[in-house]
Each structure stands twice: as C-alpha cells, then as structure tokens.
Amino acid sequence: MHAATATDTAPRYDSRSIRLHWVTALLVIVLWSLGETIDWFPRGEPRVVARSLHITFGVLLAAILCWRIWWRAARGARLPAEPGALGKLATAVHFALYAVLAATVVLGIVYTWARGDSIFGWFSLPSFAPGDKELRGQIEELHSLGANVLLILAGVHACAALWHHYIIKDGVLRRMLPAR
C-alpha cells in the first residue's frame, strides 16, 4: 500500500471519458499504421482485406468520435485547464486534436466513396467520381496529410502529459489513466 498523495485525490475524468480517450488513441494508431502499410499487401484479397479493415476501423472511429463529442458536451467531466498561457495552449491543442481527427475521418469517408471499394468482398461501395483519378488523388493526399498532422498533434499531447507526470509531477496524466 502506498501513502496517499495530493495527486491521488486530484480531480479525475469519468471512466467513460477515459475509455473513449484510450479507444480513440488506439484506433488512431492502428488506422495510421494500417494506412501506411496497405500498399505492402499483395494485390487482390490480401489488399482488399487490409483496406476493408482500414475502412471498418475508420467508420468505428467516426462513431466513437461522435459518441465522445456527445458525451463530453452532455455528461462527461470537464476539468479546468491550467491557468495562463499553458492552459490556453492545452485548450488549443485539444481543440486541434478534435478538429483534425474529425476532418481526417470525413476525408477518409469521402475518399472511400470517391474511389469506390469492396468491403471484404461482401459488398461494393460505388464510386461517386468514377474515372476522376485527379480528384481521388487530391482527397487521398488531404486524408494522408490530416492523419500525419493528427499523429504529430497526438505526439505533442502525449509528450505534454509525460512532462506533467515526470517533470511537474502535478497529477495531470493520472486524471486520464484508468483507476487502480
């Protein structure tokens, strides 16, 4: 048993907000990794499965993001940011994370519809722009850019959390960790 510290009694996010946060983080990492490696899969069924998984996880991320936004607005705990410039920066990064995540998800959905695709060979999504490779390429580039920016922002977010935990030792990271 350890002695109680000030950080043990610091305000925490509710358990649903914590779960939604970590599921979102996991899905972002899986989707980015899969997106970066889809072309490594051989053409045909292996690539169709890889792309189908990417699309399926992307739709799941869209649903989680909607749930997360609703939960945060309606019921989730909203803890105050640090006062001053660092608090404003933290708020701006959180807003940017949500905005870039939403834009990347929407661009992924639009890209899937622009190119058309087979989902696990079970059904096909028709293309809304058959033959327009330039449009598909532009949407793909924007989706990829959004995913990379999202990963960079998430990295900054994670580094800030670790800075709070190991340097400042103020309990900010513990607010988003599952309870022991």
The CATH architecture one would assign to domain 10-176 is Up-down Bundle (1.20)
Helices vs strands, H then E, count in the chain: 4, 2
Residues of the chain with pLDDT > 70: what percent? 92
Contacts within 8 Å (CB) and 24+ apart, 22-31: 22/178, 23/64, 24/61, 24/64, 24/65, 24/68, 24/101, 25/154, 27/57, 27/60, 27/61, 27/64, 28/61, 28/101, 28/150, 28/151, 28/154, 30/57, 31/57, 31/58, 31/61, 31/147
In the predicted model, what is the mean pLDDT of residues 105-134? Answer: 94
Average pLDDT along the chain: 89
Q: pTM of the prediction?
A: 0.87
Domain boundaries, the chain: 10-176
Helix (H, G, I), strand (E, B) or coil at 92: helix
- How confident is the model at residue 80, as a pLDDT? 66
Q: Tokens for 152? A: 């960079």
- In the prediction, which pLDDT does 150 show? 98
| Token couple for 169 | 């030792």
Can you give the pLDDT at residue 51? 96
Tens-place pLDDT, residues 135-180: 999 999 999 999 999 999 999 999 999 998 899 888 888 888 887 7
DSSP 8-state class, residue 174 = G
Q: What is the pLDDT of residue 3?
A: 37
Question: At which residue do the structure tokens 């699309």 appear?
Answer: 55
Q: Answer yes or no: is pLDDT of 2 > 50.
A: no
Residue 7 predicted with pLDDT over 70:
no
Quote the pLDDT of residue 87. 82
Per-residue pLDDT, 10: 61
Query: According to the model, what pLDDT value does residue 11 have?
Result: 78
Separation of alpha carbons 25 and 31, rounded Å: 10
